[in-house]
Amino acid sequence: MAKSTLSELKKEAFESNMGVFESGLVVLTWGNASALDRSQGIFAIKPSGVPYSALKWQDMVLVDLDGKVVDSTLKPSSDTLTHLEIYKGFKNINGIVHTHSEWATVWAQACKSIPVLGTTHSDHFFGEIPCIPYLSESKILASYEKETGIQIVDFYNKNSLNPQYVPACLLGGHASFTWGETSNIAFQNAVALESCAKMAFLSLNLNSKIEFPDYILKKHFTRKHGENAYYGQ
């Protein structure tokens, strides 16, 4: 691949990493974003444990879809194998974001899926945000990060969920992953998830019996997504 293309990929991943940091979705080093060039089978991801305030786009680590570091002396994110398995399992996804953003993590720690309660959620996610159960001890001991990715992909397959329709999930006891056709869309979904998580928590506190109609969910999702979308330029 041309050097210039690799630089673009690093810059794309860097922008999403800085996006989650500057939006307050990440504190300390609790999060990472990646961007994939599927034609080359290479993705750029945040280096492990490097403070966001010191991060440069050149620091992004290139990794191939076998999990091998291509060109860096820095170690990639400890969650790299999770990203890799998601890229392998979800074929139309080219960007992934992982954060411990607080309200999404609250739902993950409570081991509850986030129900659809309004149009904000509907604009981004066509159905509830699923919370995937705790990983078993044997999987964690075998290969924690790889098994985490496998568990996400399996969950979507078994439940016939379309990852492009529900581009976010919670991991029980852990936090969230979001994704999208690009790294920037994955970042936007992380922002949307956090806001929807907060509003769902508080809305149910105010009224535990909300029955949001499916036809509004469908209207709002298709207004922004799919062939009849008319939102945006």
Which residues form the catalytic set?
123, 231
Among 7, 113, 119, 164, binds a second copy (CB under 8 A): 119
Is there binding between residue 140 and a second copy (CB under 8 A)? yes
Is there binding between residue 75 and a second copy (CB under 8 A)? yes
Identity of the residue numbered 230: Y
| Rounded Cα gap, residues 191 and 221, in angstroms | 17
3-state secondary structure 161-187: CCCCCCCEEEECCCCEEEEECCHHHHH
For residue 91, the minimal CB distance to a second copy (Å) is 26
For residue 223, the minimal CB distance to a second copy (Å) is 7
Is there binding between residue 81 and a second copy (CB under 8 A)? no
* Residue 112: closest CA among 166, 171, 162, 177: 171
Cβ contacts of 37 within 8 Å, gap of 6 or more: 1, 5, 9, 43, 94
* Residue 145: closest CA among 13, 32, 18, 29: 32
Across 176-220, the runs of DSSP E, i.e. the strands, are: 176-180
For residue 123, the minimal CB distance to a second copy (Å) is 8
Of 159-198, binders to a second copy (CB under 8 A) are: 173-175, 188, 191-192, 195, 198
Is there binding between residue 111 and a second copy (CB under 8 A)? yes
Tokens of 171: 């991991």
Among 14, 21, 43, 103, binds a second copy (CB under 8 A): 103
Quickly count: other Cβ atoms within 10 Å of residue 46's Cβ: 30
Point out which residues bind a second copy (CB under 8 A).
27-28, 30, 47-50, 74-75, 78, 100, 102-103, 105-112, 117-120, 123, 134-135, 137, 140-141, 144, 173-175, 188, 191-192, 195, 198-203, 205-207, 210, 212-213, 215-216, 219, 223, 230-233
